[in-house]
Amino acid sequence: MHVDHELARTIFLDELDALLQVCDGLEDADFVAASRCRGWSVGDVLVHVHLGLQDMLLGLVSPAESPADTNAASYWRHQVPTNDPEADALAGLRFVRLLGAAYRKPSGVVGHMRPTASGVTTVVRGLPSGSLHFQGHVLTTGDFLATWAVELVVHHLDLGRELHVGAPASAAMSLTVTTVEALLGGPLPAEWSQELRILAGTGRVELNDDQSRAVGRVAKLLPALG
């Protein structure tokens, strides 16, 4: 699954803007609401997003001469390299929670994230088409931006477990559905909303019996994307 550079750029920037608009509408009490990420509050999710945008900047300034070895879908099948072989998912969850707790006010995470988001936006707008090194792999710039658009959409939806938040950018939602279905090797039910297909595809909701039957053999492959 490959995504055109210009298309991916537009989709990513639109979704980053949509997520920041949601952040600007949050009050301090909203940051302690539960998210769809197990064990994380809304504030914790945004800390994770900020850390991700910092990682993204490293990829954006790492041009590659070698051909891409993964794409916008297969990227999600790879384990992220770690400098701590003893770390696990629980350690990562705890680190994010501790970092979020360090802010004087819960909304401080947004003030901290905004300059990073601004820097990412500037670099992405000027990014030429090509390939980039990231997390031990090489991706085309289009596929790289597409993976980050998907990352933002999933966490944007994570904020809506208890809160009423604006929807992700439409094209970014469509890209995320396409990515999930590419990983599954087949479509999810067309009568499902895009949001449900994404939440099911990322393990954010537990399917009822009717939904499991509608999915058929694909149910065993869920979640396709963590």
1-58 pLDDT tens trace: 999 999 999 999 999 999 999 999 999 999 999 999 988 999 999 999 999 999 999 9
For residues 138-164, average pLDDT? 98
Length of the chain: 226
Q: How far is CA 129 from CA 29, 64, 132, 168, in A?
A: 42, 11, 10, 25
- Please provide residue 62's backbone torsions phi and psi, each rounded to the nearest 5 degrees: -125, 70
Distance CA(80)–CA(75), nearest Å, equals: 10
Q: Which two tokens stand for residue 171?
A: 């094209």
Of 1.20.120.450, 2.40.50.100, 1.10.10.370, 3.90.120.10, which CATH number belongs to 5-221?
A: 1.20.120.450
**Residue boundaries of the structural domains of the chain:** 5-221
pLDDT-derived band at 97 (thresholds 50, 70, 90) equals confident
Higher pLDDT, 107 or 180: 180
Q: Which residue has the tokens 């939602």?
A: 173
Residue 105 sits at φ, ψ, to 5 deg, of -125, 145
Collapsing DSSP states into helix, strand and coil, what is residue 132? Answer: strand
